[in-house]
């Protein structure tokens, strides 16, 4: 049975890669259609995340030239995760399953076949996992893999070396829609949904044009977002740290009292000064981390929309072509 597949591809200033990406994906879809794997109502949807270049003009043209292409325009830049969620939520009612991927095709599109095969075998969530990432810079590789380790240590369930290249069934997407949080970290939220899941391995290629939209600063912010959205361990760790510090200072007090009564009084202002600084620093750190969580509660309490769709171009299968 052919399935109706939608691709959700967030794009931010991707004019350099879009035409080539569209060409390659159209070729892939033609093959899948010929093989009877997908229906004629399957679509490739680009989500323009408030780009400042001609990205939307290109998407608009692709849609007019070929109903295979759909487009969603966000009213402004909301970041990769929000754009992706917008795509998933907008498309879920039209598709049997949606595959999310990046516009730069760093993730091998030939893994789509294996994903669809697993989906047809009854799997709801298929994670694309990078088997090797030699093409990434050593720095990107080390930081990214360190990140997955830290996440794991903090108790957040993330699939190792899986970015946002994944297939989700309509049922899984409907479940994801029940998560109303605005602090989005999709690759940590999807495992929470449950349902049968599996992985597909592929090799990661270099970006074929344009440059990464994730500089170090954004990457660090993203990692922090992931940790604080999924884990309250930092707060717990601080509590233990505070307790340990308190016990140590009690020990010190006893030690100094013994010194005092045995007549070995120390001048000791240096140890005082050091401990004032240590405790002061720790307190500020602790307040800072707690503050980060309060900031998140503040954002969640506001319930602001996570994205705003300005235009949605799509040719529904029934009214459509062929």
Sites of contact with Mg ion (CB under 5 A): 102, 104, 106
Q: In the numeric block, which tokens belong to residue 146?
A: 């360190």
Find the shortest distance in angstroms from Cβ 23 to ligand UDP: 16
For residue 74, give the H/E element and its range. Answer: strand 69-74
Q: Does 107 bind ligand UDP (CB under 6 A)?
A: no
Find the shortest distance in angstroms from Cβ 74 to ligand UDP: 9
Nearer to ligand UDP by Cβ, of 26 and 209: the residue is 209
Site for ligand UDP in 274-313 (CB under 6 A): none
18 contact choice in Mg ion, ligand UDP, none (CB below 5 to 8 Å, kind-dependent)? none
Nearer to ligand UDP by Cβ, of 123 and 189: the residue is 189
Query: What gap in Å lies between CA 305 and CA 320, rounded to an integer?
Result: 31
Interface segment toward ligand UDP; rule CB under 6 A; list 79-87, 154-162, 184-192, 238-246: 79-87
Q: Does 103 bind ligand UDP (CB under 6 A)?
A: yes
State the DSSP code for 243.
H
Find the shortest distance in angstroms from Cβ 8 to ligand UDP: 10
Nearer to ligand UDP by Cβ, of 41 and 56: the residue is 56
Q: In the numeric block, which tokens belong to residue 203?
A: 């090799």
Contact criterion met (CB below 8 Å) for 197 and 125? yes
Contact criterion met (CB below 8 Å) for 85 and 306? yes
Whose tokens are 């039209």? That residue is 94
Nearer to ligand UDP by Cβ, of 102 and 124: the residue is 102
Total residues in contact with ligand UDP, by rule CB under 6 A: 16
Burial of 34 (C-beta count, 10 Å sphere; 0-12/13-18/19+): exposed
Q: Does 39 bind ligand UDP (CB under 6 A)?
A: no
Binds ligand UDP (CB under 6 A): choice among 135, 145, 212, 275: 212
Rounded to 10°, the helix 269-302/233-261 angle is 160
Q: Does 124 bind ligand UDP (CB under 6 A)?
A: no
- Non-local (6+) Cβ contacts of 7 within 8 A are 25, 43, 44, 45, 98, 99, 100, 101
Query: What gap in Å lies between CA 191 and CA 127, rounded to an integer?
Result: 10
CA end-to-end span of the chain: 19
Return residues touching ligand UDP (CB under 6 A). 10-12, 14, 49, 77, 79-80, 83, 102-104, 106, 212-214
């Amino acid at each position: 049975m052919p399935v109706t597949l939608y691709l959700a591809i967030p794009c931010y200033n991707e004019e350099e890669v879009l035409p080539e990406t569209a060409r390659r994906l159209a070729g892939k879809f033609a093959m899948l259609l010929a093989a009877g794997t997908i229906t004629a109502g399957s679509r490739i949807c680009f989500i323009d995340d408030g780009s400042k270049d001609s990205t939307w003009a290109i998407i608009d043209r692709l849609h007019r030239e070929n109903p295979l292409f759909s487009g969603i325009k966000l009213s402004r830049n909301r970041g990769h995760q929000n754009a992706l969620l917008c795509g998933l939520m907008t498309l879920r009612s039209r598709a049997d399953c949606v595959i999310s991927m990046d516009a730069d095709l760093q993730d091998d599109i030939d893994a789509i076949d294996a994903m669809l095969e697993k989906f047809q075998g009854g799997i709801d969530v298929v994670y694309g996992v990078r088997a090797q990432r030699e093409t990434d810079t050593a720095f990107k590789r080390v930081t990214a893999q360190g990140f997955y380790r830290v996440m794991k240590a903090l108790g957040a369930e993330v699939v190792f070396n899986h970015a946002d290249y994944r297939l989700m069934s309509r049922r899984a997407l409907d479940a994801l829609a029940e998560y109303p949080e605005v602090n989005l970290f999709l690759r940590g939220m999807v495992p929470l949904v449950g349902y049968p899941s599996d992985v597909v391995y592929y090799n990661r290629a270099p970006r074929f044009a344009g440059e990464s939209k994730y500089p170090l600063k954004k990457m660090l912010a993203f990692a922090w977002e992931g940790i604080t959205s999924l884990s309250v361990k930092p707060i717990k760790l601080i509590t233990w740290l505070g307790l340990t510090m308190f016990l140590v200072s009690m020990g010190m007090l006893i030690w100094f009292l013994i010194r005092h009564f045995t007549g070995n009084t120390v001048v000791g202002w240096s140890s005082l000064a050091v401990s004032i600084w240590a405790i002061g620093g720790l307190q500020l750190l602790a307040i800072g981390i707690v503050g980060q969580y309060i900031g998140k509660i503040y954002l969640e309490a506001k319930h602001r929309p996570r994205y705003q769709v300005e235009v949605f171009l799509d040719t529904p299968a029934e009214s459509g072509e062929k």
